[in-house]
Amino acid sequence: MMTKLYYKVTLLLLSLLIVACSESVKEHSPERIKVGLREAGHQLLLQSGDSSSRVLPVVALDPSTYELSFEQSLQIIPDSLVAIVERSLERAELSDRYLVEVLQCEDAEVAYSYEMWLEGEQGIVPCQGRLLPQSCYRIHVKFIEGQRSNSNLVWLWLLPVGVLGWWFFGRKHLEVSELAATKEVPLGRFMFYPEQHKLVTPATEIALSKKECELLELFVERPNQVISRDELSKRVWEDHGVVVGRSLDTYISKLRKKLQDDERIQLVNIHGVGYKLEVN
């Protein structure tokens, strides 16, 4: 009886919370996005000391991802990139949740990337002091869907529900989750924690995104075996209804950089087939 009442109260409060205290992220027209990104490109050229060359037309790679490119090579300072993009998108009244990737023109390798999240959350902005040398770069900006909370106080609505849940169900589920969190997989000099999305060495801890973690799990399950691009794409992306494009290559490149401290581990591209995790 009390358990049924708990579920009813939970559903009621969650419904009120969704209706009263959240709003969908605004949909922006491609024209507004292109104006904001061209402004960011112009400022990046000026920061690089180039006041004469052009920002090339901004290209929509898909409904949420846009490519910014330049007529001439330029030098990129990550600190300035983060500030310029944030300022330009804010002026254009665009979303404040997005992923930025700086790709090298010659090989499409990711030279620098970061993710900016909603206001009040912590974005991922690594290695801001590292200078990217003068070269040809393309910048991809992907706007991430989500919901914007009007007030942190709304979470107080859920406090009674949480207390009731703890009372009814005790620590059983907590103990199960704690057990899952201890799962660890040796990988060369690293210890891989799939549930916590991280790689750990005695000196460092490296965070992994969800997609990076899912890919690495597949490779760890089948070391020294070739896994086709189709299988990697299907297992990690297709079930979520996402069009992959070059996303697989981008995330493989990110994983390579995070594993580069151990020479015994190599993510090898098998041309025309897929990838293999070589573990010596």
Which domains are assigned to the chain?
30-145 (no CATH), 181-279 (1.10.10.10)
Residue-level pLDDT at 165: 58
Please give the Cα distance from 263 to 181 (Å, whole number).
28
7 vs 138, more confident: 138
Q: Mean pLDDT throughout 81-104?
A: 89
Query: What is the amino acid identity at position 185?
Result: V
Please give the Cα distance from 74 to 87 (Å, whole number).
20
Answer for the pair 34, 66: CB distance below 8 angstroms, yes or no.
yes
Answer for the pair 219, 267: CB distance below 8 angstroms, yes or no.
yes
Q: How confident is the model at residue 275 (pLDDT cuts 50, 70, 90)?
A: very high
Strands, E assignment, 50-160: 59-62, 65-69, 74-76, 98-104, 110-116, 132-135, 137-143, 147-149
Tokens of 217: 């799990």
Q: What is the pLDDT of residues 199-249, one digit of tens each?
A: 998 788 899 988 888 899 999 999 999 999 888 888 776 655 454 556 788
235 vs 123, more confident: 235
Please give the Cα distance from 194 to 182 (Å, whole number).
9
Please give the Cα distance from 280 to 270 (Å, whole number).
17
Residue-level pLDDT at 121: 45
Please give the Cα distance from 32 to 246 (Å, whole number).
25
CB under 8 Å to 13, separation ≥6 — which residues?
Answer: 157, 158, 161
Q: How confident is the model at residue 276 (pLDDT cuts 50, 70, 90)?
A: very high
Q: What is the pLDDT of residues 124-165, one digit of tens each?
A: 555 555 688 999 999 999 998 754 444 444 455 555 555 555
Q: Is the predicted pLDDT of residue 180 greater than 50, yes or no? A: no
pTM: 0.46
157 vs 190, more confident: 190
CB under 8 Å to 250, separation ≥6 — which residues?
Answer: 101, 110
Q: Mean pLDDT throughout 253-264?
A: 89
Residue-level pLDDT at 126: 52
Q: What is the pLDDT of residues 33-85, one digit of tens each?
A: 999 999 999 999 998 889 999 999 999 999 999 999 999 999 998 888 988 99
Residue-level pLDDT at 137: 95
